[in-house]
Structure 1
Amino acid sequence: MSTRRLFLQLLAAAASEGKLRAGGAKPMAGVFPIVQTPFTNDDKLDTKTLAAEIRFLDRAGVQGVVWPQLASEFFDLTMEERFAGMEVVAAAGKPLKPAVVLGVQADDTATALKYVKHAEKLAPDAIIALPPRAWKDRNRILEYYKAISAATSRPLIAQTIGDMSVDFVIRMLGEATNLHFVKDEAGETLPRISEFHKRGDPRMRGVFTGGHGKTMIDEMMRGSAGTMPAVPFADLYVLVWDAWRAGDRHKALDYFSKVSLMVTEATAYGLPGIKYMLRLRGVFENTKCRATSRNASFDEQAKRSIEQAFEYVKPLFRA
């Protein structure tokens, strides 16, 4: 099936089902997994599986979906593939509960604005952008985010990396008018969450985190807006989030112990391991990654280790 045909089918489904989810903007808080990118065995973007992954995440109970970002291998996608994938993610997510966040980052401002323009046509709930990977000059980075902000009507999430200080982010909030959220991965995330809250800037609507949510409990204690982990065991993060929000700290800690087990496997084996987990969940058909070096150390023992951990946490899966 062509990407365009799949896109039109998904839009038709959205039109018929969207009224079931009516009632205003989708909340921008909670578990927002970075969606992994599936490839066919002949190395094409697998749009059918990408759409299935979004539906899987809805069944898992997540509050949002994000694509493409670092864990989506966006560096290895062509512009045409990113456009096609954005269309599929937006259409698949439209009738569902999770907010849809589209990644628009690029290595230069002009290219990023092409992604912003395409995202605007698809009406996501928000957009997210990393800074260009080779840029160090803060004024240049600021102008990049100002340009993206000016080109969108959506809330913008800036992913911080490198030496993007809290002071610099506060400055960006004042000059990039649609910038309201941060995915913070610059420096020591935990004290930075506290520092953002201490500043009390009303333009800041929330601080998300990454790093597989390995400090999720502490992050929630400090007032994070949520976490952006990988997809395969997203339902476990949702259990932690829901228990914490319900005030059941003991249950949240118990669920988090299961998350920590799976994070160990995810960090040990990287994207091939994460995609193998998605095979075990019945979402992916293979573990193909674009960069061959990412497949080199993923052996049979790695699979057995992941399978053993999966059997232990499997009773808690929702999807």
Structure 2
Amino acid sequence: MSGAATMLENLTFKRKYLFMRMPFLLFLLLALPLLGHTQQSDLHNYKVEITRQRIQQDSLFRYGQNSPLPAEEKASFKGLAYFPVNEAYRVQAKFVRTAQEAIFKMPATGPRLADYVKYGELHFQLQGRPLQLNVYQNQELIKQPKYHTYLFIPFTDATTGQETYATGRYLDFSIPLGQDSVWLDFNKAYNPYCAYNSGYSCPIPPKENKLPVRVEAGVKTYEKAGAGGATQGEEKMPEFPGGIPAFMKFMDKTFVLPPLARNAGVSGTVEFSFVVKADGTLADFQVTKSLRPDVDEAVLHTAKQMPLWKPGMLNGKAVNVKFTAPYRVKSR
């Protein structure tokens, strides 16, 4: 075969190869912008989800029966202060199980000391540094079925005692099932209850869990209303028109205790949740803590008659927010 013929054959082959590759190349060109859009959408959804969790937490602090806030502080409570949601503080970690660890009493802010065991270690990188946190298991809690897989991460960092609570902060964790690569999300870091009320005894993070970096994620130090302003610029809780006093007045005025429950002298608390939509309407009513079926139904019937609420806000925009509230039922 002549050189010209060989060159022509090679050129023909390259053209055929390029033609065959064109659909794949075209797919890549079309897919790359979509991939970038998907990643941006995932990040946005992640930030929205964290913010909604924070608004829900604020709701429980202000209205929840088990709120750590003293009763006199609930009415003026405007929300906790948080660092902005930052995906850089959501890191992958390697979980290493540590077996045959001895049970010990973890120091606490009060006289009550709980038994813990070191369950494992989390190895990860943050701000370019290799770091480690120990993970602990409460020996009393694991006796309850709902806490069988629950693990606890108390920690301190370079913000402790400055922007964040002086004793330290906590993260919740679950026993990894069949995997050693897990996510560690500092955007979910929260304060112990003793940060809000001195009546609680809270575990003090062991010195092994002191991180030599600034973790500018999660909740900040709590300040009472009027003592520095613990409000947030990013998010705002939904609100009944007129606030919590008006909410309780509406419930008391509208609620009718079922006759059988009244005759039985039933009293107690029903906790219920609902979604405050972006337009202020309410939906998805559910009982989260039951007292008695007929009383539960009566409380939900009353709640469904509530007027429009002021919606929750996220970055200046109204958003759907799940809200939880208790209602104290009294026999009349």
Q: Is TM more than 0.5 here? A: no
The structure with the greater share of residues assigned to helix is 1
TM-score by length of 1: 0.29
